[in-house]
Structure formats: structure tokens, C-alpha cells
């Protein structure tokens, strides 16, 4: 008798994820538990390491959601930044405490939306101490889910006309959508809601999740833990989806649309499902991106951002979730941390400057790397394999010996 | 006589000024094996595409199990261009997508094999069962459908066993030899639980031995699955061997119909298609 995939794999993945989360919490809290003098620079809260980890968590969700669409359903869409913007603004608008709205929307004499989830839950659980923490956490989570939903609803509306297009045309249409959304959100007339071309800020961010005592000293840092947790849950859901019967139908559409349709797979419905799901998770990652940069600002969500995520997907391997995640951390670490030195001038002892090293050179190196990847490693780090596949193959080989 | 399961009624397919299929009328009765033959470019595959919803006929209707599933009449520019007959007989437009027709119980294979290339043999059949799942998107993603899924896996295993592909179930679909790929395509079509199976040149590119195996195979699955089979084929041995009735198309027009014997002795068919054996 044939059996579905054993539960062993799922349990192993769960253990690995829990272990990773535990390591993150430990790393983050070294600076809390040890005296300041004995903490290495790397583990100080201001270290680049944590910035990279946070941004990596946010971007990995964005990359995986893009991979769901581009890699698994074969729909080449470039609307990712647009959906992230929708998520970021939805989250921001619904999360700025009512008390701060006057200050944030000062150009428009206050916000048209005089409501925030944090305040709503605050009136139930209280605003101080544990109750305050609970209402903040709940407010954030509910606002994030709504951020995803708003992005998904927009995806549905756009998908109705746009999903009839194929390949490049779809890419251009979605790219156009992202640009339009960006312009609309900067429109002065929408100022009371979106704050026009100004940023929305003072909503809860990642550092709001650090637990402090009464005097304001941090007793437990969770600011890196939170984005990791959210991303892991979301990516796990995408994994489950991809391995479900609907995920298999998506792959069939990617490989041969005509055959898929002839085998009873409704193309319009399944493409729409994939498009909306991808947009939902892009929206959630957009909300997290807003938390990471501590503001929501439409002009940040450029086409360049979409390309950045597309690049990550390509480097990781189109059609591989673990590839996308690994590529994200690699990319973010390089661009934010390891290759930073390329941007700063180095003066040698004899007064000579090293050639090339100046602001912007990092991007030149990046472009070269991209070209090399596209030319010689077209399948990316993982191809369409997943991390566990690599182990499986080794076991099979050993068994054969 | 048993009821007809498929009826094509006055169907005409016109592309611009070219009439690919001209006023086609045919019937397939339940339990039969019916063949559609004709020279290259006669419009056989176009006829299949009209029946399965890939194309919408310019004029005419298709009935499946006594229900009209496709109907169309010339519209727009085609109104002036239309060269076929029965213009004005049809007034409604009924144009379901291919997936809708498959769900009604009509599955097909393709002339050029169209398997899902990077999927295994097992997955190819499993995906085809998707159209019969009842679980919704969210429940499937959250694995609330374990029972249905398990049931599907067992059915796929059984089906692969019946068609003799169980031992290669984990291979990539494209790594199979040609004959087995054809067989897999049929298995995949069977997974959608059809009542009528449309085979588009199932023996194309096969050697005589493979063709013989296929002939036996088609006969067997018809019995095992209670199928009606409608096929396009150029291998006359196979066609004459298994068909109950044959339709002959030439230049889009039906030139003959009847039992294999009648067709073999039909003057028009011999002239247009079969030809005379050289040693005769």
C-alpha cells in the first residue's frame, strides 16, 4: 500500500525551525544577559548582524511569495513592490495610535481614519503592563493579516483583466500596476488617509516587541525573533500549499497550460488563487518591511525593490523555497554588510587612494555578480530542488553502495 | 441500440476564409470504439479540438450524454465570411472551457505528447485527479483533507498498476520510453474519471509491436473502465482491428462512415486515403 509523505519530515522541519528560533533569541539576548563590557561588537543590539537578520526575514517572505507565482505557477509578475506597498500602508494606517495621529498627519489636520487596532484592543486588555503588551501584539497581528487581505483584494481586482495576459505582457502590466499604486498613494487628495507624499510613522515596530521593565530597561529582546516567527509561519503555509493538491495543479499549469486545462484544471481560477495568495503574503511582508524601516513611505517601494526580490528568486533558484530563503540572507548580508567596504574610500599609508573604491562601487560589483549568475548558473543555488532533497539523495546513494 | 454519448451536429470550423471542418455530423454510442480517419490536414484534430472546447466551432453544436454542451453561430466579421451550411439554425452561444468539458466526463490525449515534464509518473496521474477533489483551497493547504488525499494516492497506485506503470512510478515522466509515455498519457486521462476517452493518434511513432500492445491495451481499458473510445489514428491495422465504426474525413468533409469492412471497400475512401496495396 502506498503512503503519503511520512510525518517524520514535518516533525524534523518543526524541530529545525524551533531550534533556529531559539538560536535567534539567544543571540539577540547575549547583550541583555552579559555585562556590556564583555559583549563582542557583533552581538551588540546595534550590530549589522541583527539588521541583516531582520531584513532577511522580511525579504525572504517577499521572495518566497514571488516564487510561488513566478516559480511554481509560471506567471511572470513584477507587481511585488506594489503589493508590499499596499500591505505596508494598510498596516501603518491601521496601527498608528489615535493619540499620535494629529502629529503624524499634521499637514492634513489629523487623519481621516481615527481608529487603530492597538487602541481597540487596549480598551479591552488595558494599555499598561502585560495588558498593553497583549493589545499591542494582537493589534499588530490583526493589522498584518488585514494588510495581506487588502493586497489580496487588490490582486483579485487587477487579476481579472491582467491574468489573461501571458509571460512578458503580464510582467509589464503588473509592473505598471505597481507604479500606479505608488503614484496614487502619494496623491495629495488622499492625504488624510495616506499622508500624501509624507511618511507615516509612530506605529509599533520590531523593537516594540522587546520586553522592558518599568524603568524602560530591556529585559528580553524579541525584535529579531518576531519577524523570524512571522516569516516562518507564512513560509510554512506556502510550503503546505505547494505540496497540496492545489499546489500540484499550479505546477501543472507552469509546465503545460494546455494539458492542465485538458485535465480539468480551471486556468482562470487557479491562476487567480495563486496571484491572490502571493499578493497576500507580499502584503504581510510589506507590513513587516514598514515595521523594519519604522515608517511607511510610498516612494521606497520602487521597481528596483521588485527587481531586488526577483534577483533573489533567480539566485536562489526559480521553483525552490529553501533556495529563495538562502539567497535572501546571502543577498541582504552582502548588500547591507559584507560588501559595504566597497563603498568607502581607502587611503593607503603613502597617501594613495585604492582605485575604484568609492560610494556606489558596491552596486557595480553586484551587477557583475548578477551577470555571472545569469550567464553561468542559470538554475541558481538550488535549481528547483529543496533542502531536504539533497539529504534524501545522499541517503539513497549510500543505500546503493 | 444504446444511447449516443457524443453527438456532433452540423459543426463547421472556419479560420478566416479556410473551412477546416465542414458540416460535420457524427455520433458515438455508449460502449463503442469509433475511429476518425483521413489524410493529413483533413481536419481530424480540429474536430477533436471543437469537441473538447479548445476551439469554438464557427457554427453547429456538440451534444454529450444527451445534453448540449457546445453551440455557436457565426458572429461579427465571420457573419459575412461564413461559407458553411446551416447558417441561422443555431442562435445560442455555449462555449465552455476545456476544463469544464473534462469535468463533464470527457478526457483526451494529445497528438504530440503533453506530459508535465518535471513531474514524476505518479504525480502526473495524481495531478489529473485534482479536478475531482472536493476540498477547498484553504482546507487543502492546511491538510484537512488527509483522507481524500490518501484515497487519491491509493487510486493512483491502483491505476498505475492496471496500466502497468507501477514499477516506474517515481521516474520522471519524460525519462520513460516513448510507448510508455503514450500509455501514461492515457492513464492520466483515465484519472479524470471519464466516460468518453478521446485519443489523438495514440499509436503515432510506434513500431508494429508497440502498436499491437496498444491495441490490446485500449481494448482492455475499455472493458475495465466501462469506457467509450473515440480515436484518431493512421495505423490502419489498429483501426480496423478495434473499431466498431469508422468515420472518414477528407478536406474537412465527411466522405464515408460505417463498419471497418464497409470502409475498406468504399471506393471514395480508397481513392482519398487508403489507396490500393501495391501487390494487389
Both B261 and B279 in one domain: the answer is yes
pLDDT score recorded for residue A66? 95
Give the distance between the most distant pair of CA atoms in chain B: 68
CATH code for the domain of B29: 3.40.50.300
**Of B98, B154, B156, which has the smallest distance from its Cβ to A262's Cβ?**
B98
Helix (H) or strand (E) holding B10: strand B4-15
Give me the numbers of helices (H) and strands (E) for chain A, helices first please: 16, 4
Whether residue B99 is found in the same domain as residue B236? yes
Which pLDDT score is estimated for A1?
45
The x, y and z cell numbers of residue B88, run together, are 441561422
Are B94 and B210 part of one and the same domain?
A: yes
* B6 assigned to some structural domain: yes
Contacts of B156 in chain A (CB under 8 A): 2
What are the chain B neighbours of A267 within 8 Å (beta carbons)?
97, 99
**Is B170 a domain residue?**
yes
Distance from CA of B117 to the nearest CA of A (A): 7
Residue B65, domain extent: 1-105+196-214+228-280
Contact list in A for residue B150 (CB cut-off 8 A) is 3-4
Q: What pLDDT score was predicted for residue B84?
A: 82
For residue B154, the model assigns a pLDDT of 92
Average confidence (pLDDT) over B32-44: 90
B110 with A258: Cβ contact below 8 A: yes
Q: Find the range with the poorest average confidence among A75-89, A333-347, B32-46, B66-80.
A: A333-347
| Confidence check: pLDDT of B166 > 80 | yes
Indicate if B182 and B233 belong to the same structural domain.
Answer: no
Whether the CB of B213 is below 8 Å from some CB of chain A: the reply is no
Does residue B223 belong to any structural domain of this protein?
Answer: no
Contact of A255 with B118, CB cutoff 8 Å: yes
Confidence at residue B279, expressed as pLDDT on a 0 to 100 scale: 54
Domain shared by B144 and B100, yes or no? no
Reported confidence tier of residue B28, pLDDT bands at 50, 70, 90? very high
Looking at the structure, tell me whether residues B96 and B68 fall in a common domain: yes
Q: Do B114 and A258 touch (CB under 8 A)?
A: yes
pLDDT at B1 exceeding the cut of 80: no
Q: What residues have CB less than 8 Å from A143, skipping those under 6 apart?
A: A90, A91, A94, A95, A117, A287
ipTM: 0.90
The Cα B260–Cα B264 span in angstroms is 6
- What is the per-residue pLDDT for A3? 56
Q: Could you tell me if B166 and B205 lie in one domain?
A: no
Contacts of A21 by beta carbon, 8 Å cutoff, 6+ apart: A225, A228, A229, A232
Q: Mind listing the pLDDT tens digit for each residue in A125-138? A: 887 878 888 888 89
User: Could you tell me where the beta strands, DSSP code E, fall in B65-110?
Assistant: 67-72, 106-108
For residue B222, being part of any structural domain is answered with no
Same domain (yes/no): B74, B184: no
- Reading the block at residue A1, the C-alpha cell is 500500500
Please list the ranges in chain A whose pLDDT falls under 70.
Answer: 1-6, 393-401
* Phi, psi (deg, nearest 5) at residue B24: -85, 130
Interface test with B, best of A262, A318, A320, A385 (most B CBs within 10 A): A262
Is pLDDT of B158 > 90? yes
Are B154 and A1 in contact, with CB atoms under 8 Å apart?
A: yes
Cβ(A182)–Cβ(A299) under 8 Å?
yes
Query: What does each C-alpha distance from B89 to A66, B53, B74, B92 come to in angstroms?
Result: 50, 20, 11, 10
Does B149 lie at the interface with A, CB-CB under 8 angstroms? yes
Is the residue at B221 inside a domain?
no
Alpha helices, H only, B171-230 = 178-191, 208-225
Place of cell 573604491: A357
Residue B227: all three cell numbers together: 469506457
* Minimal C-alpha gap between A26 and chain B (Å): 31
Q: H/E element holding A12?
A: helix A7-33
Give yes or no: residues B2 and B101 share one domain: yes
Residues B128 and B146 in one domain: yes
Q: Measured between alpha carbons, how far is A45 from A28 in angstroms, rounded to an integer? A: 7
Judge whether residue B250 has pLDDT over 70: yes
Q: How far apart are CA A231 and CA A336, in angstroms?
A: 20
The DSSP string of B119-179 is: SBHHHHHHHHGGGG----HHHHHTTTTHHHHHHHHHHHHHHHHHHT-GGGTTSBGGGS-HH
pLDDT mean over B31-51: 91
Residue B133 lies in a domain: yes
Number of structural domains in chain B = 2
For A29, residues 6+ apart whose C-beta sits below 8 A from its C-beta are A220, A221
Q: Are residue B187 and residue B203 in the same domain, yes or no?
A: no
Q: Give percent of chain B above pLDDT 90.
A: 49
Residues 6+ apart with CB under 8 A from A301: A81, A82, A84, A85, A88, A178, A182, A286
How many A/B residue pairs have CB atoms within 8 Å?
110
Evaluate whether B249 touches B25 at the Cβ level (below 8 Å).
Answer: no
Same domain for B99 and B86: yes
B139-146 own/partner pairs: CB under 8 Å, 24+ apart? B140/A241, B140/A244, B140/A245, B140/A246, B141/A237, B141/A240, B141/A241, B141/A244, B141/A246, B142/A240, B143/A240, B143/A244, B145/A244, B145/A245, B146/A4
Out of B97, B157, B189, whose CB is closest to A2? B157
Identify the sign of the CA torsion B151, B152, B155, B156. negative
Does the residue B247 lie in any domain?
A: yes
Instruction: Specify if B219 maps to a domain.
Output: no
Segment B46-64 mean pLDDT: 92
Integer Cα distance of A184 and A252 in angstroms: 36
Amino acid at each position: 500500500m502506498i503512503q503519503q509523505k511520512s510525518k517524520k519530515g514535518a516533525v524534523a522541519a518543526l524541530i529545525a525551525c524551533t531550534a533556529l528560533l531559539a538560536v535567534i533569541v539567544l543571540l539577540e539576548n547575549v547583550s541583555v544577559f552579559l555585562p556590556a563590557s564583555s559583549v563582542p561588537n557583533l552581538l551588540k543590539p546595534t550590530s549589522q548582524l541583527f539588521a541583516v537578520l531582520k531584513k532577511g526575514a522580511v525579504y525572504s517572505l517577499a521572495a518566497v511569495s514571488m516564487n510561488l507565482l513566478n516559480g511554481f505557477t509560471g506567471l511572470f509578475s513584477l507587481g511585488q513592490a506594489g503589493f508590499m506597498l499596499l500591505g505596508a500602508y494598510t498596516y501603518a494606517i491601521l496601527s498608528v495610535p489615535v493619540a499620535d495621529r494629529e502629529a503624524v498627519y499634521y499637514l492634513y489636520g489629523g487623519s481621516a481614519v481615527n481608529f487603530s487596532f492597538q487602541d481597540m484592543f487596549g480598551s479591552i486588555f488595558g494599555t499598561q503592563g502585560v495588558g498593553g503588551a497583549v493589545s499591542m501584539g494582537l493589534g499588530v497581528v490583526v493589522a498584518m493579516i488585514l494588510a495581506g487581505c487588502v493586497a489580496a483584494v487588490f490582486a483579485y481586482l487587477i487579476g481579472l483583466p491582467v491574468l489573461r495576459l501571458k509571460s512578458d505582457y503580464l510582467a509589464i502590466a503588473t509592473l505598471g500596476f505597481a507604479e500606479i499604486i505608488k503614484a496614487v498613494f502619494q496623491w495629495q487628495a488622499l492625504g488624510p488617509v495616506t499622508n500624501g507624499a509624507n511618511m507615516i510613522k509612530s506605529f509599533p515596530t520590531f523593537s516594540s516587541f522587546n520586553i522592558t521593565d518599568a524603568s524602560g530597561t530591556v529585559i528580553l529582546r524579541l525584535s529579531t525573533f518576531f519577524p523570524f516567527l512571522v516569516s516562518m509561519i507564512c513560509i510554512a503555509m506556502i510550503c503546505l500549499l505547494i505540496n497540496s493538491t492545489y499546489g500540484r495543479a499550479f505546477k501543472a499549469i507552469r509546465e503545460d497550460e494546455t494539458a492542465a486545462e485538458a485535465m480539468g484544471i480551471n486556468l482562470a481560477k487557479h491562476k487567480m488563487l495563486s496571484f491572490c495568495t502571493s499578493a497576500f503574503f507580499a502584503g504581510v511582508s510589506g507590513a513587516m518591511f514598514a515595521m523594519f524601516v519604522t515608517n511607511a513611505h510610498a516612494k521606497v517601494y520602487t521597481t528596483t525593490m521588485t527587481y531586488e526580490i526577483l534577483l533573489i528568486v533567480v539566485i536562489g533558484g526559480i521553483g525552490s523555497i529553501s533556495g529563495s530563503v538562502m539567497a535572501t540572507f546571502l543577498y541582504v548580508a552582502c548588500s547591507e554588510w559584507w560588501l559595504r567596504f566597497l563603498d568607502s574610500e581607502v587611503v593607503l599609508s603613502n597617501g594613495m587612494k585604492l582605485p575604484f573604491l568609492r560610494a556606489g562601487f558596491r552596486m557595480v560589483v553586484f551587477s557583475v555578480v548578477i551577470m555571472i549568475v545569469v550567464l553561468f548558473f542559470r538554475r541558481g543555488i538550488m535549481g528547483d530542488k529543496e533542502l531536504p532533497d539533497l539529504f534524501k539523495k545522499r541517503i539513497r546513494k549510500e543505500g546503493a553502495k | 441500440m444504446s444511447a449516443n454519448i457524443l453527438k456532433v451536429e452540423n459543426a463547421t470550423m472556419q479560420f478566416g476564409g479556410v473551412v477546416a471542418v465542414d458540416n460535420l455530423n457524427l455520433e458515438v454510442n455508449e460502449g463503442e470504439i469509433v475511429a476518425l480517419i483521413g489524410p493529413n490536414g483533413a481536419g481530424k484534430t480540429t474536430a477533436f479540438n471543437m469537441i473538447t472546447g479548445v476551439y469554438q466551432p464557427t457554427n453547429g453544436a456538440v451534444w454529450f450524454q444527451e445534453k448540449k454542451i457546445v453551440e455557436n453561430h457565426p458572429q461579427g466579421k465571420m457573419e459575412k465570411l461564413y461559407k458553411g451550411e446551416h447558417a441561422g439554425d443555431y442562435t445560442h452561444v455555449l462555449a465552455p472551457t476545456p476544463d469544464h468539458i473534462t469535468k463533464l466526463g470527457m478526457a483526451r490525449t494529445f497528438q504530440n505528447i503533453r506530459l508535465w515534464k518535471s513531474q514524476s509518473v505518479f504525480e502526473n496521474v495524481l495531478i489529473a485527479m485534482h479536478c475531482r477533489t472536493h476540498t477547498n483551497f484553504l482546507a487543502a493547504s492546511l491538510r484537512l483533507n488527509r483522507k481524500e488525499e490518501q484515497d487519491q494516492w491509493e487510486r493512483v497506485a491502483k491505476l498505475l498498476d492496471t496500466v502497468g506503470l507501477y514499477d516506474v512510478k517515481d521516474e520522471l515522466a519524460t525519462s520513460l520510453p516513448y510507448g510508455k509515455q503514450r500509455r501514461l498519457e492515457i492513464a492520466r486521462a483515465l484519472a479524470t474519471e471519464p466516460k468518453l476517452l478521446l485519443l489523438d493518434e495514440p499509436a503515432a511513432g510506434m513500431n508494429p509491436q508497440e502498436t499491437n500492445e496498444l491495441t490490446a491495451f485500449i481494448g482492455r481499458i475499455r472493458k475495465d473502465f466501462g469506457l467509450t473510445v473515440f480515436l484518431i489514428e493512421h495505423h490502419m491495422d489498429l483501426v480496423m482491428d478495434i473499431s466498431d465504426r469508422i468515420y472518414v474525413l477528407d478536406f474537412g468533409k465527411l466522405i464515408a462512415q460505417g463498419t471497418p469492412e464497409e470502409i475498406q471497400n468504399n471506393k471514395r475512401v480508397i481513392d482519398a486515403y487508403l489507396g490500393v496495396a501495391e501487390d494487389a
